């Protein structure tokens, strides 16, 4: 990692975890070239010393590789410590400038004072320039020694702080300049310097054609590379994904929700999810591959029973007796625990998600992570890490719990989420769903597991789940395709002569749809009821179909799922969501009827659910 990147809060936030758990197989290298893109990392102080303090304070072993071998003779002469003190007191802004300066300036300013001047009296200006270019991070001997020491160190993780020059070897126009990052092309002088420094045989005329070095030109290098490849058991990096012959959960695990709730029983989709995940974890063979990830909100989501049943993973087990040790659902840590309790740390939890979601490739052992979080603290906070997960070809489930701008009432604008589904759709690897009923939830999760484990697809499922309890209906026949594609008809309009309106809902706002159906009946209006489980998937399919039609003008026009479901009817359609109106608006292009969208645009508010829904 670069020294400038250490300013990102999440970059070093988990140092203590590695030290706390004694992960001495970690060797981290910090490239300390003292530069950001625009200027010095710490112009008025020293970033290397700052990083050393941070790592040592977190319990790491620190190895500094600052000076190349040609400095050894000078340090041997420095019996009074004057040179060491001079370099220690040299702020980074001056160090960046002096270590890329001409020899006369190096002599005058870096080695100022009688003792230091005498120390380099027999050095030419050219030798001083070569000295300041010889830093530890460019010295193979020093680098090898550092890694050997790091690998031999036990009981702590190790960081190597390697001092380098940005643009090293590219000539004075590049090396150590603030403009290095923005320069995309070397001029003739730069190319000649690079050629001479690397000992290449190209003539000045050859350089005008920007020649490549071909493997046939360097047979010794190729032979060495092949020898090392054999020693390392193949090329690296290489993505190795073994064939997965997993026994997937039986249909009965998901069918628990097909009959709906009984009597006066009511549940939320969050409760339904927890029950389903527990069922998956208890499944033989597959269950051990389920990885629940929680950022310190398990009790909020009703997941605390998992603590005692499955245990919270900790490599040392539980070295204490918890305060709730007498109760059935006690806090239980175990070296064999299955739940990852990440603390108040969304970035750390997402990092664990990435590790579990890519284990099928990195470890040759697939696991299926379920990361459950306050939905507002998902895409809102760590969308960059979710993008990184997609880029890493992750496979797993993101569960945005306590979703909904009016459903999570009483917590104001900080927590009330009505836009994560919109953000989720911007990630090409994410399938985002907003299920209203338990059977929709189980159908979606079943398909996700099949897609990841059986169809070998790199996909992330995002599900919005809510904390509002209500009766769950039984699963209608032949609804699976519509649930997965994003839209299906829950109920036809009753027989009669009155006008027909098509009401479309998702999440717990489906209750408001059902309430509206009854109210409309008093006016003689008949209602069709539609469940929209994923506007994002509907839009993706719609865009694919529209593109195909555009590129195949001479062939029969294809129709989208939205067009197939709504048909030619001109009965008005009203879509209602606990998310911003832009979510249902995603399908307007393919709705061939009057289309009205009701959403929750604006900040959340602290009030009751009825008051919030009346407001929006």
368, 291: one domain: yes
In 3-state terms, what secondary structure has residue 24? coil
State yes or no: pLDDT of 189 exceeds 90: no
Mean pLDDT of 399-420: 87
For 149-180, b/e burial (b = at least 16 CB within 10 A) is: ebeeeeebbbbbbbbbbbbbebbeebbbbeeb
Residue 240 lies inside a defined structural domain of this protein: no
d(Cα 611, Cα 199) in Å, to the nearest integer? 77
Domain limit, last residue, from 231, 265, 300: 231
**Rg (Cα) of the chain, in Å, rounded?**
31
Backbone angles phi, psi at 528, to 5 degrees: -85, 145
Q: Are 456 and 525 in a shared domain?
A: no
Residues 168 and 48 in one domain: yes
CATH of the domain at 140: 3.40.50.970
Q: What is the mean pLDDT of the chain?
A: 93
Burial 391-411 (b: 16+ CB within 10 A, else e): ebbbbbbbbbbbbbbbbbbee
For strand 526-531 and strand 573-576, is the pairing parallel, antiparallel, or unpaired? unpaired
Sign of CA dihedral 133, 136, 137, 142: positive
Sheet containing 158-163: give its strands across: 27-32, 158-163, 61-65
Lowest mean pLDDT among 68-82, 94-108, 167-181, 453-467: 167-181
Is there a domain that residue 475 lies in?
A: no
Residue 431 vs residue 328, higher pLDDT: 431
Task: Please give the helix or strand (H or E) that residue 501 lies within, else none.
Answer: strand 500-505
| Reported confidence tier of residue 296, pLDDT bands at 50, 70, 90 | confident
- Per-residue pLDDT band for 240 (boundaries 50, 70, 90) equals confident
> Within a domain: residue 315?
yes
Residue 40 vs residues 96, 172, 184: alpha-carbon distances, Å? 8, 17, 20
pLDDT computed for residue 206 by the predictor? 92
Of 544, 509, 543, which is closest to residue 529 (Cα–Cα)?
A: 509
The CA-atom distances, in angstroms, between 60 and each of 21, 51, 57, 607 are 11, 11, 7, 48
Asked whether residue 179 carries a pLDDT value surpassing 90, the answer given is no
User: Which domain does 177 fall in, by range?
Assistant: 4-231
- Residues 259, 390, single domain; the answer is yes
Q: At what angle do helices 438-453 and 269-281 cross, to 10 degrees?
A: 40
Looking at residue 168, what is its pLDDT?
84
Residue 562 lies inside a defined structural domain of this protein: yes
* pLDDT tens-digit readout, 215-226: 998 999 999 999
Q: Is residue 72 part of a domain?
A: yes
Res. 451 pLDDT band, cuts 50 70 90:
very high
> How many Cβ atoms are within 10 Å of 227's Cβ, its own excluded?
10
The more confidently predicted of residues 184 and 343 is 343
Question: Do the domain assignments include residue 169?
Answer: yes
The bridge status of strand 526-531 relative to strand 500-505 is parallel
Q: Determine phi and psi for 244, rounding to 5 degrees.
A: -100, 115
> How far from each other are the two terminal CA atoms of the chain, in whole angstroms?
46
Q: Are residues 191 and 316 in the same domain?
A: no
Statement to judge: residues 348 and 412 lie in one domain:
yes
- Looking at the structure, tell me whether residues 340 and 450 fall in a common domain: yes
Q: What is the rounded average pLDDT of the residues 300-313? A: 91
Q: How confident is the model at residue 180 (pLDDT cuts 50, 70, 90)?
A: low
Would you say 58 and 130 are in contact if contact means Cβ atoms under 8 Å apart? no
Which residue has better confidence, 589 or 189? 589
Q: Which of 581, 253, 586 is nearest to 438 (CA)?
A: 253
Residue 9, φ and ψ in degrees, nearest 5: -55, -40
Q: Is the pLDDT of residue 323 over 70?
A: yes
What is the C-alpha to C-alpha distance for residues 273 and 286, in angstroms, rounded to an integer?
17
Q: How many domains does the chain fold into?
A: 3
Who has greater pLDDT, 196 or 587?
587
Burial class (CB in 10 A: 0-12, 13-18, 19+), 2: middle
Predicted TM-score (pTM) of the model is 0.88
Percent of the chain at pLDDT exceeding 90: 81
Across the chain, how many H-helices and E-strands are there? Answer: 26, 16
- Do 420 and 285 share a structural domain? yes
Question: Which of 186, 201, 231 is where one domain is finished?
Answer: 231
Same domain for 215 and 320: no
Is residue 512 very low, low, confident or very high in pLDDT (cuts 50, 70, 90)? Answer: very high
pLDDT at residue 97 greater than cutoff 70: yes
Q: Are 505 and 575 contained in the same domain?
A: yes
**In this structure, what token pair is assigned to residue 582?**
């832009």
The pLDDT value recorded for residue 491 is: 95
Render pLDDT for 473-511 as a digit per residue (tens, 0 to 9): 999 999 999 999 999 999 999 999 999 999 999 999 999
pLDDT at 380 over 80: yes
The answer to whether position 238 is within a domain reads no
Q: d(Cα 556, Cα 565) in Å, to the nearest integer?
A: 19
DSSP letter assigned to residue 262: -
Residue at 283 is within a domain: yes
Is the per-residue pLDDT at 413 higher than 80?
no
What is 368-386 written as a DSSP string? EEEEEEEGGGSHHHHHHHH
- Token digits of residue 571: 């009965």
The 3-state DSSP composition of the chain as helix, strand, coil percent (nearest 5) reads 45, 15, 45
Locate 140 and state its tokens: 């193979």
Q: Which residues pair with 505 in a beta bridge?
A: 531, 576
User: What distance in Å separates the CA atoms of residue 153 and residue 44, rounded to the nearest whole number?
Assistant: 33
Q: What angle do CA 69, 75, 80 make, to 5 degrees?
A: 175
152 contacts 142 by C-beta, under 8 angstroms: no
508 and 425 together in one domain? no
CATH code of the domain in which 571 resides: 3.40.50.920
Q: Are both 521 and 437 inside the same structural domain?
A: no
Q: 585: closest CA among 593, 572, 575, 594?
A: 575
CA dihedral over 246, 250, 251, 256, signed as positive or negative: negative
């Amino acid at each position: 990692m670069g020294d400038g990147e250490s300013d990102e809060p999440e970059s070093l936030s988990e140092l203590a975890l590695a030290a706390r758990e004694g992960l001495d197989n970690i060797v981290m290298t910090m490239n300390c070239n003292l530069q950001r893109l625009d200027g010095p990392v710490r112009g008025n102080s020293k970033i290397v010393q700052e990083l050393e303090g941070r790592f040592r304070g977190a319990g790491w072993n620190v190895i500094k590789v600052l000076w190349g071998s040609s400095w050894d003779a000078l340090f041997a002469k420095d019996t009074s410590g004057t040179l060491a003190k001079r370099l220690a007191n040299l702020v980074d802004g001056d160090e960046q400038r002096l270590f890329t300066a001409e020899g006369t300036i190096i002599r005058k300013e870096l080695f100022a004072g009688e003792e230091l001047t005498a120390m380099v009296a027999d050095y030419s200006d050219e030798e001083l320039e070569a000295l300041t270019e010889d830093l530890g991070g460019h010295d193979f001997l020093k680098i090898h020694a550092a890694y050997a020491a790091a690998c031999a160190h036990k009981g702590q993780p190790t960081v190597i702080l390697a001092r380098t020059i940005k643009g090293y070897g590219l000539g004075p126009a590049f090396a150590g300049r603030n403009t290095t990052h923005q320069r995309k092309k070397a001029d003739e002088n730069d190319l000649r310097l690079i050629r001479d420094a690397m000992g290449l045989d190209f003539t000045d005329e050859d350089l005008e054609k920007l020649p490549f070095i071909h493997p046939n030109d360097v047979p010794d290098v190729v032979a060495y590379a092949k020898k090392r490849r054999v020693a390392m058991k193949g090329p690296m990096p290489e993505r190795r994904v073994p064939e997965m012959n997993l026994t997937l959960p039986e249909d009965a695990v998901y069918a628990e929700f097909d009959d709906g709730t009984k009597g006066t029983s009511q549940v939320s989709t969050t409760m339904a999810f927890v029950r389903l995940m527990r069922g998956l974890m208890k499944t033989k063979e597959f269950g051990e591959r389920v990885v629940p990830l929680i950022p310190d909100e398990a009790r909020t989501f009703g997941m605390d029973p998992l603590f005692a049943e499955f245990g919270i993973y900790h490599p040392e087990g539980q070295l204490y007796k918890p305060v709730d040790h007498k109760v059935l659902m006690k806090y239980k840590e175990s070296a064999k625990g299955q739940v990852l309790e990440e603390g108040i740390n969304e970035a750390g939890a997402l990092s664990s998600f990435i590790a579990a979601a890519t284990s099928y490739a990195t470890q040759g052992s697939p696991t299926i992570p379920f990361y459950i979080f306050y939905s507002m603290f998902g895409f809102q906070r760590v969308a960059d890490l979710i993008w990184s997960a997609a880029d890493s070809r992750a496979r797993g489930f993101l569960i945005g719990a306590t979703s909904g701008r009016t459903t999570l009432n009483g917590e104001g604008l900080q927590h009330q989420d009505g836009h994560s589904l919109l953000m989720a759709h911007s990630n090409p690897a994410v399938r985002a769903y907003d299920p209203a009923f338990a059977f929709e939830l189980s159908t979606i999760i079943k398909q996700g597991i099949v897609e990841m484990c059986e169809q070998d697809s790199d996909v992330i499922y995002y599900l919005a789940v809510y904390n509002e309890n209500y009766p769950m209906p039984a699963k209608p026949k032949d609804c699976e395709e519509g649930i997965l594609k994003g839209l299906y008809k829950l109920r036809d309009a009753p027989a009669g002569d009155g006008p027909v309106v098509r009401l479309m809902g998702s999440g717990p706002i489906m209750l408001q749809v059902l309430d509206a159906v009854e109210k409309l009946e008093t006016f003689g209006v008949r209602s069709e009821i539609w469940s929209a489980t994923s506007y994002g998937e509907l839009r993706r399919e719609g865009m694919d179909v529209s593109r195909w039609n555009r590129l195949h003008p001479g062939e029969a026009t294809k129709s989208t799922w939205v067009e197939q479901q709504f048909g030619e009817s001109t009965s008005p359609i009203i879509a209602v969501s606990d998310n911003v109106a832009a979510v249902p608006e995603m399908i307007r292009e393919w709705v061939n009827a009057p289309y009205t969208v009701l959403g929750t645009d604006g900040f959340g508010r602290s009030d009751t659910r009825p008051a919030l829904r009346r407001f929006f």
